[in-house]
Structure 1
Amino acid sequence: MRLLVLCISLILGVFGQNEQIDEDTRKKIEEIFPITNNNFAPDLEEVTESTNGSYGAMEQCGEGSTRGLKRCVVYNKCDPKTNTIVEEDVTYGFGQIDIRFGKKECEEPLDVCCKINPNTPTPNPVTPVTPEPVTTPPIVKPSFCGIRNPKGIDFTITGNFDNEAEYGEFPWMVAILNKNYILQGLDKPLVCGGSLITPNVVLTGAHCVYRNKSFDLTVRAGEWDTQTTKERLPYQERNVNQIIVHEEFAPGILHNDVALLILDEAVNKADHIGTICLPSQNAKINSKNCFVTGWGQKDFGKKGKFQSILKKIELPTIDRRICQDALRTTRLTSKFSLHSSFMCAGGEEGKDACTGDGGSPLVCPDPTNAARYVQVGTVAWGIGCGTLNIPGVYGDVAQFRNWIDQKLQRLSISSAPYTV
């Protein structure tokens, strides 16, 4: 992995761009700000370390023996049959994309080394510019809720050693962002995760949004890798028009931790954007093969971090009594009582929603149709992270189905998009 010593602009201003930074200062900066992009401080020394999964020395695409014959292009501009650059987008046969950091033919994860068409002029080098999100509506897909894409769409990934989800694997997953803050150069800092239950309604945890004003928030659907916009299908962002928090939500203890976000405009359904199904009121769904997803609030969009790609963790649901007994062995003490608005999942060592986001969905296979998923929980709280035999605690979505239906009915919003 390539690590660069990092310096923020304030420090650069103090020392001057043409002065060398002393070694003690360099080490302190590196401890606080571990990584950045290659062009941020060109006067600093670059250090290359050998890591697991690195590629070692490799000739770069378009250099050496491939100069003038090949160049790096985004994956959907390379015909997989002929491995030749094409003008029109390709929508099939992409194969595998390696998401590991390290020496590769192309620096960008979604770029591939492709043969130059003799009839296509080689473009002049240009300074990379981050494109604005495309707002053109993608191709509409059938209106079925809970359809997971276990093999992703467009391509499958390799090098996913940190529970990265496939591209488009969980179409209902959304990021709730605060559009009025910029965090260390990030576009829009992450507030929480959520799930799309209708094209214009997001389900999340009340603890995520009860202090926010609706005009502060925006929702991003169809996101996968927060470091790039090179995916064939763009993400879609919508402003939040209204926040509906459960009337009996208790901020200190998170009872009734549920909220709805009403968007100012419906998102357009596509292969990578869809709704999740909700269980009927008081339904009990038990499974060993549930998934919780999230990006990780700390590292959302941070350059050089695996957390830029959506994570997934497979977890089992846990019986309420077993969960309560387990939590009583912690600092909660033997008098702890698990509120009826909670359910539990996890308890396996090293596997927990701590790498995810509050409000993110916990989904399980539908007992009547294993190909369809139902949201059983929203990430709420936990004791520690990934501790053996200590489950994580989630808002129990089945306890709020009637509440959700009633709130949306008053707004003339149909429950059909999330009904099994």
Structure 2
Amino acid sequence: MGLRQNLAWAILAIISYSSVFAAPQQSSNVERNIQDIFNTNPSLPPARGGFAEVVTPVPIGASNPLIDFTSISGKTSNCNCVPYYMCDPSTNSITEDGAFDGFGVIDIRFGDDDPVCPSSVDVCCAGNRTREQVLNPTPLEKRPNQPRGCGIRNVGGLDFTLPSTTQNEAGFGEFPWTVALLHANNFSYFCGGSLIHPQVVLTAVHCLLPHAPGSFLIRAGEWDAQTTRERLPYQEQTAKQIILHPQFNIRNVANDFALVILSQPFTLADHINVVCLPPQGASSTAGTTCFSTGWGKDVFGAAGKYSVIMKRVPLPVVDFNSCQSRLRSTRLGSRFALDRSFMCAGGQRGVDTCQGDGGAPLACPIGLSSDNRYQQSGIVAWGIGCNDEVPAAYANVALARDWIDQQMLGNGFDTSTYTA
């Protein structure tokens, strides 16, 4: 699974920074080796299978199911292929007032050569369980003892759980603060971000440098990029204003913090919510397992494929000095200096963020474990390759909290939305 926006200019900026400390011959070798790894053309369109693939909305209703559907494999027959929320999960699970909490386990079977139903959220439903109206689980705000406020993770997802997550798939609505940044002309995905206020998104400067406010959209509430049949639909807004951190350094990508003020606020819902932010100067404990979320590539470069379903990558926090030592053991060289505006996470082979998810949040648990509350400790910035045993660098949000607060207040927004 991948989640890191290794733009060519960003990597070359890091090379330039490290070359200040390196001998000329060492610098030349480092630059050549890094270019061999990261030589990509960021103007190329994303690989098929992600947001670059146009999705045509499918009307949802009783007039549209596949009646007496027989699966391609022939293992299942005499059923209606309908969205899960139009299939009674059992004959006695629905109370008179329609209140219930979810649909149990659903096998999304996405990407199988022999799918039972054509959409990831469709199920093969027996005729006596097929409903003509949408079944809506009890909204979270009406459930007893439900935590309120920012950063509430819907562990396992809303509505249903997945039987297995072999590709680190997130559940539907599990990380409701994660948003996608899409090119306005073709809806292709280019970066991630997080909602910190209904009308404000936190992302990375390096994602926004090539973009004017009217050139991209922000999508919240997305899960599967190849269907519009989720029970709760995504929402989209345009950008009204971009605010870049004044100390962003294009040479080493330091202070990679940016805010996007939206033209209109998102309507918060079960699957769309804000994340908490850490206090100024707070530090994340090494070894803490955090999650980075988004739709980035599985491997770097042209061979990589963008994710279709949102992924969640569990990543341990790595202390700053250990991270710098690991980076110095790479082609960056023994004199490479990691800027103090970064924190690090990861370092486990095969579990990493990757290309396509710059700006995506790294969220860490806080407070009581029963609350499932998270704060955004990092913003996906850069790293050496994908899926290697080298931690990735994340913009350290705790070092920008005061700046974020200043920008929010200066633009008339309440900072309490992201304060735990």
* TM-score bracket for the superposition, by shorter chain length: 0.7 to 0.9
Q: Between the two proteins, what is the percent identity of the paired residues?
A: 46
The CA deviation at 1:217 is 1.6
Task: Name the SS of the counterpart of 1:395 in structure 2.
Answer: strand
- Cross-structure match for 1:165: 170
Equivalent residues of 2:88, 2:130 under 8 A apart = no
- Cross-structure match for 2:374: 373
The CA deviation at 1:297 is 5.8
More deviation in 217-226 or 348-357? 348-357
Distance of 2:129 and 2:316 partners within structure 1: 54
Residues 129-144 of structure 1 aligned to structure 2 (within 5 Å): 141=141, 144=149
The CA deviation at 1:153 is 0.6
1:113 to 106, 117, 124: 124
The CA deviation at 1:35 is 8.4
- Cross-structure match for 1:57: 73
- Cross-structure match for 2:270: 271
The CA deviation at 1:179 is 0.6
Distance of 2:360 and 2:413 partners within structure 1: 22
- Cross-structure match for 1:145: 150
Residues 249-328 of structure 1 aligned to structure 2 (within 5 Å): 249-286=248-285, 287-296=287-296, 307-328=307-328
- Cross-structure match for 1:129: none
Pair 1:339–1:203, CA change in 2 (3 A): same
Matched, 1:204 2:218: no
Is there any run of 5+ residues in structure 2 with no aligned partner, and where?
A: 1-46, 54-70, 133-137, 142-146, 300-304
Distance of 1:177 and 1:348 partners within structure 2: 30
Equivalent residues of 1:173, 1:194 under 8 A apart = yes
Distance of 1:190 and 1:413 partners within structure 2: 27
The CA deviation at 1:111 is 1.3
Equivalent residues of 1:58, 1:103 under 8 A apart = no
What amino acid sits opposite 2:275 in the alignment? I
Q: Which has the larger radius of gyration?
A: 1
Using the size of structure 1 for normalisation, the TM-score is: 0.73
Equivalent residues of 2:102, 2:158 under 8 A apart = no
Matched, 1:403 2:403: yes
- Cross-structure match for 2:107: 98
Number of residues of Structure 1 aligned to a counterpart in Structure 2: 334
Pair 1:202–1:140, CA change in 2 (3 A): farther
The CA deviation at 1:384 is 1.6
- C-alpha RMSD over aligned residues: 3.1
Equivalent residues of 1:165, 1:310 under 8 A apart = yes
Using the size of structure 2 for normalisation, the TM-score is: 0.73
Equivalent residues of 1:346, 1:392 under 8 A apart = yes
1:181-205 CA-to-partner distances (Å, cap 9, x unmatched) read x2xxxxx111200000011000001
Matched, 1:80 2:89: yes
Pair 1:217–1:297, CA change in 2 (3 A): farther
Is there any run of 5+ residues in structure 1 with no aligned partner, and where?
A: 1-32, 38-54, 122-137, 183-187, 300-304
1:240-295 CA-to-partner distances (Å, cap 9, x unmatched) read 11000111112232011010000111111111111100000010121431111110
1:302-345 CA-to-partner distances (Å, cap 9, x unmatched) read xxx78100011101101101111111111111111111111100
Pair 1:233–1:283, CA change in 2 (3 A): same
Distance of 2:234 and 2:328 partners within structure 1: 43
